[in-house]
Chain A
Amino acid sequence: MGRLSDVTRACQPEQAGRGPIREVSPLPPLRLTGVAKVFRDPMTLRRFTAVEDVSLTLVRGEIFGLLGPNAAGKTTTIKMILGLIRPTRGTVLLDGRDPRNPDARRRLGYLPENPCFYDHLSAVEYLDLVGSLCGIPPAIGRSRAAALLERLGLASHARKPLRKFSKGMTQRLGLAQALLNEPTLLVLDEPMSGLDPIGRAEAKKLLREERERGTTVLLSSHALAETETICDRFGIMNEGRLLETAIPGLLSSGVREWEIVVESMPPRMSESLRAAGHRVEPVGGRWVVGVRDGAALQEALAGLTQDSVFVHSVEPRRETLEEHFVRALNGAGGGPS
């Protein structure tokens, strides 16, 4: 399998004179300011606020995860970013330009949620169409398409009609068409959906490579654990509002609990730890003691050592993105219980 750097190399002729380094705009790749979207039911004329007062600025070269439960407003926000729907209030700017201006979308890559492409075409024909729409010279477009199909494991299916593609193959083609114009901003709506574990790993690797090349990535996802491993920053949306933005690294620096694992423990000791308010549980032939802070940890360790209990390990237990996500939604009063 080729690497994405092969794709970059294949595209060198277009970048002659300025090397593989891209032109970098001083403006943020994406800025949303007070964006809101209110839909009106054409039958009942009832108003429905899908997105309310979302402000967000992406930093060039970061992977930003937009998280939230169903109907949180993620896809509506993404569609406003792409100019597919107009904000009722607020502004969306791509490199300082309105996304409804086609020039603003020249270096934008987009993968829709559950993508669907023309099933009368083959993968090669579809990428040829995408290349023409992006104004890529045919020879360069063909070269990039071949490299991307190889990179995404679709080379052997390049001439197969898209109607015969599985969901995972369609998703991979979606990534290929999003990358064909060498975007500086990639907007991916549920990019891991429909991919098998190998496909997910490949997709994550591909996104990291894109970040290394300076591409800014905005992705929406339900797969929190996977998002945590690739995102530099994430935002949590619920009921149309962006509740918070945070950095996974900083999030996990907060230790929720210290876990002491011991080989065995006299009953008197476990009762005394429980009485002190600590969590004591037998796990796989060992005992796990959970204590809340450093002072309690010192005290518990002193007691265990005094009773000659063999301490196997002491580890901090940090808040996972999933726990943080649930806590954020519960805090907003709209999350899962």
Chain B
Amino acid sequence: MSRVLAIAKNTVLEVVRERVVLVLALFGVGLVSASQILAPLALGEGKKVVTDFGLAGSALLATLLAVFLGSTLLYKELDRRTILAVMAKPIRRGEFLLGKFLGLWATSGFLLAGMTAIVLLLLAVSYGGASWVLLGSLALTVIELGIVTALVILFSSFTTPGLTALFAAATIVAGQFAEDLLYFGSHGAAPAVAAATKACYWILPHFALFNARGLVVHGAAVPPERLLFGAAYGLLYMGALLVAAGAIFERREFR
């Protein structure tokens, strides 16, 4: 496990020392703060606007960080051949991938947590109290980020950064509508289409499960069973993606 953590720590340092992270963090702070400007237009619903806008912006930026920085992580290792000296050490390829995954997930998770903390601070300062139910939404978004990161690691194990970002973005968008896809297939579609949509429903990550912002903006807490189910589903899904990525990476040759 120390080898995995060493790779994860190096990945965190690599990502954090990229200037784009600073830009994203500043952009995130700006975005969350901008919700304050919109709040007076919401006719007494300012707190909801700040919460909804802040949480959605935080999740979007953390996802962008995971997709765009993650898609180049493995590619840079192979292109600059830094991976040669590392893989000659007594480390399994799966451990290397797991370390990359954990490092990227941790970094995007820290960015998300930081921006959520700013939202909580804004709520506390402007509306006289932070709504701690936001933490339930944060937990689910962190798990969602884990799936996004694992998707990026899987795609980057066999293709280019551009295609990795494209495939990951397509899967994220499709995953938001997994339920709608099943509904579409089961209502009058041809049997082949119905079978295809059903297959997609089971294969695609169900990202809607992790979106609890609708609940928390109204001050409702995320039910514990939803948190538990989300965690179990998310960890299983991440595990499956990483096993697939590991199997592909194991066969890869470092020419």
Contacts and interface: CB of A to CB of B under 8 A. Distances in A.
A130 interface: yes
B187 interface: no
A117 B13 CA distance: 14
Interface residues of B, number: 26
B81 interface: yes
A96 to B, nearest CB: 16
B82 A118 contact: yes
A310 interface: no
Contacts of A125: 13
A88 to B, nearest CB: 11
Most buried by A among B88, B253, B254: B88
Interface in A28-85: 39, 76, 79, 82-85
Nearest to B3: A133
Interface stretch (A106-114, A249-257, A277-285): A106-114
Contacts of B13: 120-121, 125
B84 A135 contact: no
Interface string A171-208: 00010010001000001000000000000000000000
A235 interface: no
A103 B90 contact: yes
B88 to A, nearest CB: 4
Contact of B88 (A108, A116, A118): A108
Could you say which of A76, A103, A115, A118 has the most chain B C-beta atoms within 10 Å of its C-beta? A118
Contact of A133 (B80, B91, B255): B91
B89 A134 contact: yes
Contacts of A233: none
Interface string B76-97: 0000111011111111100000
A133 B90 contact: yes
Interface of A: 39, 76, 79, 82-86, 102-103, 105-106, 108, 110-112, 114-118, 120-121, 125, 129-130, 132-135, 174, 177, 181, 187
Given A84-B253, A110-B84, A112-B88, 15 more contacts: A82-B84, A82-B87, A84-B88, A84-B254, A102-B90, A105-B88, A110-B88, A112-B81, A117-B85, A121-B13, A125-B13, A132-B2, A133-B86, A134-B89, A187-B88
Q: Ordered nearest first, which 7 A-B pairs have the shortest CB separation?
A: A132-B6, A110-B88, A133-B89, A102-B90, A84-B254, A85-B253, A120-B17
Interface of B: 2-3, 5-7, 9-10, 13-14, 17-18, 80-82, 84-92, 253-255
27 contacts: A79-B84, A79-B254, A79-B255, A82-B84, A84-B87, A84-B88, A85-B253, A86-B253, A105-B88, A105-B89, A106-B90, A110-B84, A110-B88, A112-B81, A112-B84, A112-B85, A116-B81, A116-B82, A118-B14, A120-B18, A129-B10, A132-B6, A133-B3, A133-B7, A133-B91, A135-B3, A135-B90
